[in-house]
Amino acid sequence: MQSYTLTQTRNQHGEVFDRAAVEPVLITKQSRPSYVIISSDTYQQLLARLTELEDMLLGQQATAAVSRSAMVGSETFVATLTQLANGET
């Protein structure tokens, strides 16, 4: 990942954004990581992957909940799944 200082970013913004179209760019402020610039396509891919991973986790939690539970009515089952989906476990 290419790194630029905040001053370099101001002075070379064209270069920075051209690089960000290809790979993430790290912007530092006072020698510490401060920002990362990524392309819109990369951002959308990250969001899609995050959603996919969240869905996988919810599925795993639902499967675990079903395996731990005794037979219950459909209302209780739906309420439990809703709690899992809302992170209330």
On whether the 2-38 domain is CATH 3.40.1620.10, my answer is yes
**Per-residue DSSP letter, 71:** P
What mean pLDDT, rounded, does the chain reach? 91
- For residues 37 and 39, what is the distance between their CA atoms, to the nearest angstrom? 7
Give the SS3 label for residue 25. Answer: strand
Over residues 63-87, the pLDDT tens digits come to 888 788 776 678 888 888 899 999 8
User: What does the pLDDT look like over 4-23, one tens digit per residue?
Assistant: 999 999 999 999 999 999 99
Please state whether the predicted TM-score (pTM) of the whole model is above 0.85. Answer: no
Of the pLDDT bands very low, low, confident and very high (cuts 50, 70, 90), residue 89 is low
pLDDT at 71: 67
Report strand pairing: 25-29 vs 2-5: parallel
Question: Mean of the pLDDT values across residues 33-54?
Answer: 96
